[in-house]
Structure 1
Amino acid sequence: MSEQPPLVLVVEDEPDLADLYAAWLGDEYRVRTAYGGQEALEQLDEADDDVDAILLDRRMPGLSGDEVLSAVRERGIDCRVAMVTAVEPDFDILKMGFDDYLVKPVTSDTLKETVSGLLRRGEYDTEMQELFSLTSKKAMLETEKSATELADNDEYQRLTDRIEELRSRADESLEAVTEDDDDFKKLFQEFDDGE
């Protein structure tokens, strides 16, 4: 019997959009949809399978995506989370526990690449997952904020320092790995491609 494909939970309060995302991903993954925050938490509580990735809208009536994300992290649910939202990122994202952030509208290719990246990141250790998450936040802020706003924000400066610290550790780890290790090459190529 073959191993089942990864399970992706799409949380979106617009049913047509949630169903569209599910259709885009359905050929490669098992997909469940939740049409609101409360329904998402109920599905996570009742799930007999572990959810591997969550695509989460931020602005939903009732329980917001931010609240769902907090609940997921507080409950220790081990999965990668991408916010897929019309909410432009602000400095508040620095304190949020997501792994990636997409601003709507998104294309099928972007959504598929994001899920693939989330699942790949789930295989890495905690420090590497943190590095990916922080790098994503930094990139989003740099597209939305001016150089002056970034320079004046202490949290952004701490974020930059932490990324440098994690990259330095990653570089040391990379030196210890042989040149033939394709997984590590892919990992570090993602950083080079993203910048």
Structure 2
Amino acid sequence: MTHKEEIEQFRYKMNVEFSDLKTTPLKKKDFKKFKELAFFEIDASFKIEASFKSTPNEPIFEMQTTTDRKPLYTQYGIATFKHSGKEHTLRIYQNQELMLDPEYADHLFIPFNDLTNGAETYDGGRYIDVDIPKGEIIVIDFNKSYNPYCAYNDEYSCPIPPRENDLDLAIKAGVLAFKKH
């Protein structure tokens, strides 16, 4: 499968989820007029091969959310990459509850902010899901970045990207801010 086909499949699955009343995070009034999510153009330069450094023995902590809920996470590792002539670093986390579910045992979470927040993308940041890497390289495809459910419905409780994951870079890839109807 080509990179373009992979991203198109990712977008299709998101739109199917949002179009189904059983799985959509949309409010009823927005769901009625929903056609599809808006995305940046696919940009292969935002499929990053980053160096990955595992951070074992990090303490478990309560991640801040948009509500009083405090899910337990641990920092699993640090990714470092170059883009637009600068080096950037992202902390990568593992949800302590999800890791007990065999379906999500290899699941890692990257919440981040970038220079598009509040203009082209949701002001509360975006997320990317990745698998535990097998070595010292981790692939982070920002074309698969998505909004937290809070961007669509304030009834959700969503992790707030830690300041350490504020990128001094405009990530013009992935989902755009949701235009409410």
Q: TM-score, normalised by structure 1?
A: 0.23
More helix by share: 1
Greater strand share, 1 or 2?
Answer: 2
Which one has the largest radius of gyration?
1
TM-score by length of 2: 0.24
**Higher RCO, 1 vs 2 (CA within 8 Å, ≥6 residues apart):** 2
